[in-house]
Structure 1
Amino acid sequence: MAKKIRIGVFAPYREFSGLVKKIGRDFNAEFVIEHLILGDAVKAARKWLREEAVDVVVARGPTAQMVEKAVDLPVSVVDITNFDVMNTLHQARALYGAPIGFLVHRSNPFKLNFDTYKEMLNIDFNIYNYKNGTDLLEQIDLACVQGIRTMIATGSCIVEKARDWDVNPIFVHSNEESIRGAVARAVQMMDIKQENRAFADRLSTILKSIHDGMLALDEGGAIFFCNPMAEQLLGLRREEILGQNIKNLQNFSELMAIYDNGTRVTGEIVLYAGKEFLVNRMPIKTSGGGRCLVINFQGISKIRKMEESIRQKLHDKGLLAKYHFTDIVGRSPALIDVITQARKYAKTMSTVMITGESGTGKELFAQSIHNESSRCTGPFVAVNCAALPENLLESELFGYEEGAFTGARRGGKPGLFELAHGGSIFMDEISELCPQLQARLLRVIQQKEVMRVGGNRVIPVDVRIIASSNRNLSEAVKKATFREDLFYRLNVLSLYVPPLRERAGDIQVLFLHLLKRKEDSGIQGHLPKQVVEKLKSYPWPGNIRELENLAERYCAIGEDDPQGFTTLQSLISRLIDNNHVDVSKKPQITVDVGTIDEIETRIIGQVAGLYPGSREGMAKKLGISRTTLWRRLKTANQGRN
């Protein structure tokens, strides 16, 4: 059974308390009734508050106003209605006749239209306003001098004083419905208060249980909320700081890093007591028109542990990008240009199209772009569009519902786009998508939603698409094997990864790096010049993947001649013979058609790869002076930037 509400009542006259007792039977409440008004009622209300004797107060007229201002208790006011006043005026005229005086407190808590009363009842009376006891006596005295012999009042004390002046006092009584309404409002006020208190308790429990430290300050800087985590992180005791102005605290100089005059900030890293914290400060405007400041913070070390945990979970699911730009080996100008461009792309949310021959490291760039983007903590999902048959690829990309096809998993299965939500999806060899899947992919890019195979609902996804192809997609569009609209959606940011033969200067560095990844390469330092030249003379159609195969083969066989590297040279010669490469031919480069400036830039970039670190060799091969070469290199670099 619900606990009874305790209602304190200030009855201005005996009949009032009788009506309250009668009405009280209809409510689940206990009533504490006192026959007091004005100042005496205020004293009693303060006692009730100290002793927690009542939950809410019911009073009338000026008494209700005074109590409401004096104590922190909800007050329900009994209205004095027009009917009450008109009924009293009618009684006064019937009992005593005219002239009649009406005593009214200046605060006038009820709205009375005296002109209307005079007109409706065809009765004349004078109004006497007072604001305190002394003023009341003066007004009664004035009424007597003016010949008034009947006085109407709303307070019982006024009636008693009027009798001393030999006038006929008549008291305005409240009707039963007005009192019932006030009691009902009192009950409603407590119901709302209890609901608010329950909500505040729940909110406080939530705020106390969150793992962030939280402080709340009022407009003057006084702390009115501090959760246990804030105590723990800041080394403070809640009972010592609640109600205190933050600027008056003993360690305010340290707290200043977190408070910083209450300015709004999001994700600021500050140092407090030798520890790093991530701080958010939010000035908030309250419903009452005031302002407060909410500060929440957490330790950086905890955030790092959470990030590690997330990354570990993604790793366990195989949804993690392992490589970064720092993992890309090489220092040729062509490669550096691509890395610089890719880093810029990583800072955007746009779709990236990576092109290049097979084995050039397109997925390495895709993972690096993801890891340097704002999505780096999200999943990275890779799919080879050429590795799966059409029907299987559709269900893998978009998922399927239970019963979508024979053998469908119970409960269905989320697709790769769903798994990549909040992160990136790398679609390798996207040129191999069939027309049907091209249409579905276009919708995913445009609408940012997927529908599972056999499903009838759309699922919103937030995914960045990074695609790659070793084919010329422009030619595929011309041949109508690839949708033109999808091509333009994918080719927002294009990135070309050059083949190994266009950055021959990286071959030695790459080969040594690949050897170091093996347990024992047997090579210390650099390779002899003749070996390097032999490596460069081979065009490497399989690019880095083929170079890695050579490194692994070499490590497996071992070197019989550590000085002359005859084993390694033999392996390279075998590659050359097997691929029918004429090493006597002069080095060749391949340049795409463009403007004169673009062609020149590409030529210089590729020749630089053939002569890494040798400006003299480059100049000699190009048939220009070193000064002219320097000037052209500078112009080419500016064009690339």
Structure 2
Amino acid sequence: MIQIEQSINMLNKRVTEISLIAPTIQLAQKTRNIIEQRNEEIDVFVPISKEDTLNDALRIARNLVEQGAKVIISRKGTASAIIESKLNVSVVAINSILSDYIESIEVAKYENGIIAFFSYGEMTDDVKSLCSMLDIKAKYYTFKTDKDCERIVRQSLTDGAVLGIGGVMTQKYSEMYNLKHITIENSEVSITSAIETAKQILQVQKEESKKQNELKVQLERYKAVLNFTHDAIIAVDEKGKVDVINPVAEQIVKTSPGYAVGKNIDEIIHNTSMFDTISNKEKQLNQLMDINGTLVSTNRIPIVVDDKVKGVVATFQDVKVIQENENKIRRSLHEKGLVARYHFRDIKGESDEIKNAISIAKSYASSDSTILIQGETGTGKELFAQSIHNSSSRKSGPFVAINCASLSSNLLESELFGYVEGAFTGAIKGGKIGLFELAHKGTIFLDEIGEIPIEIQAQLLRVLQEKEIRKVGSVVKTPVDVRVITATNRNLIDEMKSKSFREDLYYRIGVLNLTVPPLRERGGDVMLLGRFFFDKYLGSDKTKFLSMFEHIMKRVNSYKWYGNIRELQNFVERISVLMKYHGNGYDFEQLVSSFISKDYSISNNEDSIEEDQVCITTSVKGNDLNKWEAEKITSALKNNDLSIQKAADALGISRTTLWRKMKQYNIKL
């Protein structure tokens, strides 16, 4: 809002950053009109005192500065006085130009006598030249102070002046000594020029202030990092004198606060290698050294400017503290179950098929793309998923796994994405974080991806596309940085054809594809894996029963192992337990004969089966087949005390497959 203030008593409100002090009402009115036309944010003030205009203007200027004015505009004499008062403010003078004098010169050329031109500082050459051309008897007087002003007015009268041309200050003394006077008013051009200059100065001030604030914030940030980081930090100049040392470093080198600054580094650390870094310009990373009895891991980084070393920054970490912190993190992740336990070295096998799968999986570890792992039940798909995670750049992050077939649609949604308090009946207070959020900066493994309901598939697709989740019951989206690995034993192409699996999701999760070969295609790996499990279960007793074990494994050499490694592991565990507690007294021949005589349905007339078809014969078809299969499952549950795991083992299938079949046939415990 543009105002003309006529009294310093009115300076009790917030002022604009640019303010203008006009010595005359005429100048104030003119600047007000210009400011309104330009829609500028500038307040205008007029000194109220006629006798002491300059000091009144200075009082206004002081008040403006106190209330936040950054730039003050005024006529040249007043502006100079404000500058000399050394107020903390930028000052812009409204300079007089030739056009300001045109009307007064027009009057002066008809005067008979000397015309006195008064100015604060030298008069412009344009005015002098014009007066000379018009044969005006002009005499020019300059002043700096109020006393000077009175003196030159009196001098002009002594010199015979008949007309004075100047500003407000000379007008006062001209009236006092009866000298006819014309007060120069600044033109719109000179006023506009001063406003533009003031705006430019204010912009520069703001940019500089912003830079200074950013610098202060940066310095405070560095200070906070320096003083509160877990690392010890020491910086030296090119001569090896300590410039910076933080509290952690002072503790490690065992020196009092501030003592090391200015000292040579070899006085503080006797076995320092920082001089080597200065001389060879090469950084030294992860170096072990002993500092006053503390074993530390150190990095030494040269500070190079224009190819010249200007110093070195060294960071130190107490090795014992590093180990303790790593153990804490590992314990924490283990407690939450968010650690991948397996590595590629844990995948046993010498066959070309498994070696090829491992080689492909290792190449996938260096990428962040989604992976679809396909393979029959029991082939070790999660083992591959964990191994990929532990070989990737995300290995220090969490590994979160979920079996998508084990939960209903509603439960699966809340498990994957979490929920807010009150999202549904039974929601815990405070809500729950979802698995995608838990896996942030790590990997999420979605096993049995083919079992996800179609409505959850759409939500999962959005997460993969947008890289953000929305909790159940919330409208807030949370960004997540997660690598997604999925696995299935189903043929997802067929699932897409039957519209039970989204085609767009299939291509999104399967950027990289990995097929884990079934055990029956891995040749000698059966014996190798069998021996591995045998050694594991029998321990120190393995030598006693080794020949018996090898004989049994030869008997089952032609078995197809449709349950793959899981079935082999169960079989070896069973015979190991029987050997340990019954020895040669048990009829292993009967056990092996019964095992290899198990009949499996052959799909597509090939020597393979669908893993979710168990203990059925090819002569049973249609609804009779379903009825027969349901009866077999019920019988297995009854014969194994309703134990899901034992019934699944008896049927030669996984727990997940058994759960799915029970759900299909509505079998309830």
TM-score with structure 2 setting the length? 0.55
- Give yes or no for the alignment of 1:344 onto 2:363: yes
Structure 2 counterparts to residues 82-97 of structure 1, below 5 A? none
Q: 1:382 and 1:497 mapped to 2: Cα distance?
A: 18
Match of 2:405 among 382, 386, 391: 386
Match of 2:378 among 351, 354, 359: 359
Structure 2 counterparts to residues 439-454 of structure 1, below 5 A? 439-454=458-473
Q: 1:561 and 1:227 mapped to 2: Cα distance?
A: 68
Deviation at 1:385, TM superposition (A): 0.8
- Give yes or no for the alignment of 1:532 onto 2:553: yes
Deviation at 1:422, TM superposition (A): 1.1
Are the aligned partners of 1:281 and 1:294 in contact in 2 as well (CA < 8 Å)? yes
**Structure 2 counterpart of 1:269:** 286
Are the aligned partners of 1:254 and 1:273 in contact in 2 as well (CA < 8 Å)? no
Structure 2 counterparts to residues 286-325 of structure 1, below 5 A? 295-325=314-344
**Structure 2 counterpart of 1:482:** 501
Are the aligned partners of 2:274 and 2:312 in contact in 1 as well (CA < 8 Å)? no
**Structure 1 counterpart of 2:274:** 255
CA distances 1:571-615 after superposition (whole Å, capped 9, x unpaired): 322211233799xxxx9799xxxxxxxxxxxxxxxxxxxxxxxxx
- Give yes or no for the alignment of 1:556 onto 2:573: no
Q: 1:242 and 1:398 mapped to 2: Cα distance?
A: 52
Are the aligned partners of 1:359 and 1:543 in contact in 2 as well (CA < 8 Å)? yes
Are the aligned partners of 1:321 and 1:370 in contact in 2 as well (CA < 8 Å)? yes
Structure 2 counterparts to residues 372-521 of structure 1, below 5 A? 372-518=391-537
Deviation at 1:328, TM superposition (A): 1.9
Q: 1:462 and 1:330 mapped to 2: Cα distance?
A: 34
Are the aligned partners of 1:507 and 1:535 in contact in 2 as well (CA < 8 Å)? no
1:316 partner amino acid: E
Deviation at 1:296, TM superposition (A): 3.7
- Give yes or no for the alignment of 1:571 onto 2:588: no
Deviation at 1:388, TM superposition (A): 0.7
1:271 partner amino acid: L
- Give yes or no for the alignment of 1:523 onto 2:521: no
- Give yes or no for the alignment of 1:211 onto 2:246: no
Are the aligned partners of 2:274 and 2:300 in contact in 1 as well (CA < 8 Å)? no
Unaligned runs of 5+ residues in structure 2 are 1-54, 67-81, 96-113, 115-119, 132-137, 143-207, 610-669
The alignment covers a number of residue pairs equal to 444
2:289 partner amino acid: Y
Are the aligned partners of 1:257 and 1:272 in contact in 2 as well (CA < 8 Å)? no
1:380 partner amino acid: F
Deviation at 1:521, TM superposition (A): 7.2
With over 3 angstroms needed to count, the CA separation of the structure-2 counterparts of 1:434 and 1:258, relative to structure 1, is farther
Deviation at 1:389, TM superposition (A): 1.0
With over 3 angstroms needed to count, the CA separation of the structure-2 counterparts of 1:581 and 1:447, relative to structure 1, is closer
Q: 2:92 and 2:408 mapped to 1: Cα distance?
A: 85
After TM superposition, the structure 1 stretch with the greater mean CA deviation from structure 2, 276-285 or 402-411, is 276-285
CA distances 1:524-572 after superposition (whole Å, capped 9, x unpaired): 185465433223221111111112222222233225896x897544432
Deviation at 1:511, TM superposition (A): 2.1
CA distances 1:438-476 after superposition (whole Å, capped 9, x unpaired): 111111111101111121111111111110011122222
Structure 2 counterparts to residues 22-61 of structure 1, below 5 A? none
Are the aligned partners of 2:288 and 2:296 in contact in 1 as well (CA < 8 Å)? yes
Q: 1:400 and 1:322 mapped to 2: Cα distance?
A: 29
Q: 1:577 and 1:306 mapped to 2: Cα distance?
A: 55
**% identical equivalent positions:** 40
With over 3 angstroms needed to count, the CA separation of the structure-2 counterparts of 1:119 and 1:443, relative to structure 1, is same
Unaligned runs of 5+ residues in structure 1 are 1-17, 30-58, 65-74, 84-96, 98-109, 127-188, 591-641
With over 3 angstroms needed to count, the CA separation of the structure-2 counterparts of 1:334 and 1:260, relative to structure 1, is farther
Structure 2 counterparts to residues 92-131 of structure 1, below 5 A? 123=139
What is the SS of the residue equivalent to 1:575?
helix
Q: 1:476 and 1:252 mapped to 2: Cα distance?
A: 68
Deviation at 1:252, TM superposition (A): 7.2
2:421 partner amino acid: E
Q: 2:331 and 2:260 mapped to 1: Cα distance?
A: 40
What is the SS of the residue equivalent to 1:381?
strand
After TM superposition, the structure 1 stretch with the greater mean CA deviation from structure 2, 371-380 or 296-305, is 296-305
**Structure 2 counterpart of 1:11:** none
Are the aligned partners of 2:527 and 2:553 in contact in 1 as well (CA < 8 Å)? yes
**Structure 2 counterpart of 1:370:** 389
Q: 1:314 and 1:536 mapped to 2: Cα distance?
A: 41
2:557 partner amino acid: K
Deviation at 1:387, TM superposition (A): 0.7
**Structure 2 counterpart of 1:171:** none
Deviation at 1:271, TM superposition (A): 2.8
Q: 1:77 and 1:394 mapped to 2: Cα distance?
A: 63
Deviation at 1:304, TM superposition (A): 3.5
Are the aligned partners of 1:559 and 1:566 in contact in 2 as well (CA < 8 Å)? no
With over 3 angstroms needed to count, the CA separation of the structure-2 counterparts of 1:521 and 1:348, relative to structure 1, is same
After TM superposition, the structure 1 stretch with the greater mean CA deviation from structure 2, 383-392 or 241-250, is 241-250
Deviation at 1:481, TM superposition (A): 2.1
Are the aligned partners of 1:269 and 1:276 in contact in 2 as well (CA < 8 Å)? no
Deviation at 1:281, TM superposition (A): 4.0
Q: 1:493 and 1:199 mapped to 2: Cα distance?
A: 43
After TM superposition, the structure 1 stretch with the greater mean CA deviation from structure 2, 435-444 or 245-254, is 245-254
Are the aligned partners of 2:278 and 2:311 in contact in 1 as well (CA < 8 Å)? no
Are the aligned partners of 1:356 and 1:497 in contact in 2 as well (CA < 8 Å)? yes
With over 3 angstroms needed to count, the CA separation of the structure-2 counterparts of 1:346 and 1:301, relative to structure 1, is farther
TM-score with structure 1 setting the length? 0.57
1:572 partner amino acid: V
Q: 2:90 and 2:504 mapped to 1: Cα distance?
A: 74
What is the SS of the residue equivalent to 2:406?
coil
Deviation at 1:238, TM superposition (A): 6.2
Deviation at 1:294, TM superposition (A): 5.1
With over 3 angstroms needed to count, the CA separation of the structure-2 counterparts of 1:414 and 1:60, relative to structure 1, is closer
What is the SS of the residue equivalent to 1:536?
coil
With over 3 angstroms needed to count, the CA separation of the structure-2 counterparts of 1:293 and 1:550, relative to structure 1, is same
2:347 partner amino acid: I
Deviation at 1:509, TM superposition (A): 2.5
Q: 2:502 and 2:92 mapped to 1: Cα distance?
A: 81
CA distances 1:110-130 after superposition (whole Å, capped 9, x unpaired): 99888689889955699xxxx
**Structure 2 counterpart of 1:46:** none
Q: 2:590 and 2:122 mapped to 1: Cα distance?
A: 115
With over 3 angstroms needed to count, the CA separation of the structure-2 counterparts of 1:203 and 1:496, relative to structure 1, is closer
What is the SS of the residue equivalent to 2:373?
strand
What is the SS of the residue equivalent to 1:409?
coil
Q: 1:524 and 1:499 mapped to 2: Cα distance?
A: 29
- Give yes or no for the alignment of 1:279 onto 2:296: no
Q: 1:202 and 1:439 mapped to 2: Cα distance?
A: 43
Are the aligned partners of 2:397 and 2:441 in contact in 1 as well (CA < 8 Å)? yes
Are the aligned partners of 1:212 and 1:297 in contact in 2 as well (CA < 8 Å)? yes
